[in-house]
Amino acid sequence: MAGQGQLSGKTAIVTGASRPNGIGAAIAVALAEQGANIIVHYASSEQGAKDVVKTLQSMGVKAAAIQADAGSADFGTKLVQDTLDAFQTSTIDIIVNNAGINIPSTGIADVELSAWDAVFHSNVRAPFLLIQAALPYLTKPGGRVVNIGSNIAKMGHQMLTVYSASKGALNTMTVSMAQELGPMGITINVVAPGPIATDMAMKGSPVYDKLFGIMHIKREGTTREVASAVSWLASPDAGFVTGQLIPVDGGAGWP
Ligand code: NAP
């Protein structure tokens, strides 16, 4: 039963947890199963966020929905201050940078600067800003950061240059931050999903065909399978694991 697990009483922020069929909502549920109180961050899906909050509260933990746009310069400071206010707490234990966007498959010549900026703001700058703003409040030792990457960063894919570059940047940011955060007792890792059945999934696209060809397990993953890896990395059991990339991608490798 929630409230009694390894994360009992801890405060977790999960960004982009506002779509009931999304990876973020599954992560929120998995952390709540371990007893964590959850901030359900959203950008535009207010009703979805409220629905996820209800689900979490019915599990016996505290939950609140907080809005913040990843494109805003105050993304991190707003989300952190609203979290401290919502739970009347002075500490944050777990951050999961899950919110992310892709743009429709586009060749190099057709990439708009505004699309480049939107993807990098959501997938790289916002995670940085949130960690930066949360750092004074992150539990030391014991704090946990999990960034949601993508296995596309490992392989690359034409027409997905911007998205794959942003996830590659997130990976390198994670490795660099691990060196600075480690001595404080804070771990930071990446979970890198392969194709997962959510709104973002591109089922039927050439990317999917190619991915399915090189995956050992030839199916889409589930949001739960991603969430389980995040839940473990957020737990005390994973306290000696940092700066790592955990693929949850059916064993996809280079073609
Ligand atoms: P999704 O269903 O499309 O949900 C994306 C989430 O990001 C939503 O909660 C959305 O919030 C939030 N978001 C979008 N734009 C935002 C903005 N400007 N500011 C703040 N939040 C914003 O995505 P998903 O498939 O669950 O993906 C979650 C993560 O997994 C992403 O980082 C994605 O890159 C990664 N991933 C997914 C797959 C896959 O196959 N699905 C594969 C590899 C990696 P609102 O709805 O409230 O706007």
Enumerate residues 6+ apart whose C-beta is below 8 A from 128.
Answer: 76, 173
Ligand 1 center to 17 CA (angstroms) = 8
Over 80: is that where the pLDDT of 50 sits?
yes
Give the whole-angstrom CA distance, residue 233 versus residue 181: 15
Over 70: is that where the pLDDT of 2 sits?
no
Least-confidence region, from 58-72, 106-120, 125-139, 208-222: 208-222
Give the whole-angstrom CA distance, residue 228 versus residue 55: 18
Ligand 1 center to 25 CA (angstroms) = 10
Over 90: is that where the pLDDT of 253 sits?
no
Report residue 254's pLDDT band, with 50, 70 and 90 as the boundaries.
Answer: low
Tell me the domains of the chain and their CATH numbers. 11-248 (3.40.50.720)
Going by alpha carbons, the residue nearest to atom 9 of ligand 1 is 16
3-state secondary structure of 170: helix
β-sheet bridge partners, residue 138: 92
Q: Across residues 243-252, what is the average pLDDT?
A: 95
Choosing from 146, 157, 198 the residue with most ligand 1 atoms within 8 A of its CB, the one to mutate for a pocket test is 198
Q: Which residue has the tokens 């930066």?
A: 132
DSSP letter, residue 122: I
Answer whether 198 contacts ligand 1 (Cβ < 6 A): yes
Ligand 1 center to 15 CA (angstroms) = 9
Nearest to 127 by CA among 188, 179, 186, 82: 188
Answer whether 45 contacts ligand 1 (Cβ < 6 A): yes
Q: Across residues 59-79, what is the average pLDDT?
A: 98
Tokens of 49: 């966020």
Least-confidence region, from 8-12, 88-92, 135-139, 251-255: 251-255
Answer whether 19 contacts ligand 1 (Cβ < 6 A): yes
**Residue 163 bears catalytic tag:** yes
Ligand 1, closest atom to CA 99? 7
Ligand 1, closest atom to CA 16? 9
Give the whole-angstrom CA distance, residue 245 versus residue 193: 10
Tell whether the torsion through CA atoms of 21, 22, 28 and 29 is positive or negative. Answer: positive
Answer whether 247 contacts ligand 1 (Cβ < 6 A): no
Give the whole-angstrom CA distance, residue 17 versus residue 23: 7
β-sheet bridge partners, residue 147: 97, 190
- The predicted pLDDT at position 203 comes to 74
pLDDT tens digits, 186-243: 999 999 999 999 988 777 777 788 888 889 999 999 999 999 999 999 999 999 999 9
Ligand 1 center to 133 CA (angstroms) = 21
Going by alpha carbons, the residue nearest to atom 10 of ligand 1 is 16
- The predicted pLDDT at position 236 comes to 97
Question: In one letter, which amino acid is 205?
Answer: S
Ligand 1 center to 1 CA (angstroms) = 28
- The predicted pLDDT at position 201 comes to 78
pLDDT tens digits, 76-114: 999 999 999 999 999 999 999 999 999 988 999 999 999
Q: What is the mean pLDDT of the chain?
A: 95
- The predicted pLDDT at position 245 comes to 97
- The predicted pLDDT at position 200 comes to 80
- pTM (2 decimals)? 0.97
pLDDT tens digits, 6-31: 999 999 999 999 999 999 999 999 99
Count of Cβ atoms closer than 10 Å to residue 175 Cβ: 15
Name the E strands within 115-243.
Answer: 144-148, 187-193
Report residue 3's pLDDT band, with 50, 70 and 90 as the boundaries.
Answer: low
β-sheet bridge partners, residue 92: 138
Nearest to 211 by CA among 165, 154, 141: 154
Q: Which residue has the tokens 């794959």?
A: 164
Tokens of 234: 């957020």
